[in-house]
Structure 1
Amino acid sequence: MKKRIKYLLPLLVLCGLTSCNSDTTTTSTRPSTIPTSTTPSTPSIPSTPITPSTPSENPVNLALDFNELVKDGKPNMATDWTSDFTYTYDKAIVLKQGKDYLMTPPFKTTKGLDVKITGFLDKGSMANGSLVVAVEGLNKDHEAVETVDIKESEIKGTKEQPVDFTVTLKNTSKNITQVRIKIKTLGKAVNFGINRLVVSSK
């Protein structure tokens, strides 16, 4: 019995050593990799209502130049311009009476208007400064919705040397469709001549 135990002891020691070596052996393992999404996130964009664009209005640019008078003494009027005048002088029409006027063709605009007049006074020695010329903005019913008065003293041109001056119509009503120039107050021994008229939107 003692012999048997004696043989078993070395076996147990050998077995124990083998077991210890197996316990100290480590195995290197790579951690498992979890795939991540590479797709970038799309930021949310708040929706905004689409406002339809309104077409821009055409600018007003009307001009009439009395650079030629036909043989019967009448001016060479452009299409759709209307006028009533007392007489002509060289390259001009002359407004004298209360019914006399010069009017543009119809147009559409919501903007203000510059009315550039090349004109003069045809006056005698008895003129007393009482003449008043009106520049009117008319609506579609030919009613004056805006008027600018020009006094005789503000018109510096003469028959021999007409002078340019500009009147502004603000068109705050946005209803002006024509411009008319007329005699508002008759003058004494004085009349108003127009060589050229230009109406343009601002």
Structure 2
Amino acid sequence: MELVPIFVGTNSDDGGLWAIQYNEETDEFERLFDLWANVEYLESFFREHIHDLAATSWTNDTDELIEETVFSLLDEAEELEDALIYYVKGGLAGNGLALQQLFKPLDNRIYELKPLQKSKASIRTRQRPNPKLRIYAIRLAPNLYIVTGGAIKLTHTMNERPHLVAELQKIERVREWLKSEGISEPEDLNNEE
């Protein structure tokens, strides 16, 4: 497991976005956005999870539903990446923006922010009141997050589908790894660069 800087300032106290790179070629940030831009992957995912997708649908035409959802998700992924860049840059520039305006505690019942907190990010808009994409991360500071993974979420809770349970396991594994490495504050990342 390795920490990869995605958007970071010159000083770790400035904040920024990091990602975990498991024993793979790419970090989780890059992997997610590559997957979410891959139309074949998205079509396959929605065919596999058609019952979850159809549960909130207005049509019985599976092909039409998948096609519309894929195009909507491509837009959502682009908006999510743009928002991440916007908040990171704003936080690094010190103009009052911070990633914690985008990332929220993973558990909706928790309102207190703390180090090594399990977090999630999504883009909710008036046009998209129920976003499907989630980025999962560990919060070290107000503008400092480490991406552990992400998923397409079609169900109410994460415990309902294996691919979402796997994300819960990843975020916990990364949290425990950070603890074992003594990484719990921004200055601890200075040793990782």
For normalisation by structure 2, the TM-score amounts to 0.28
Larger radius of gyration: 1
Higher strand share: 1
Task: Work out which structure has the larger RCO, using CA pairs closer than 8 Å and 6 or more positions apart in sequence.
Answer: 1
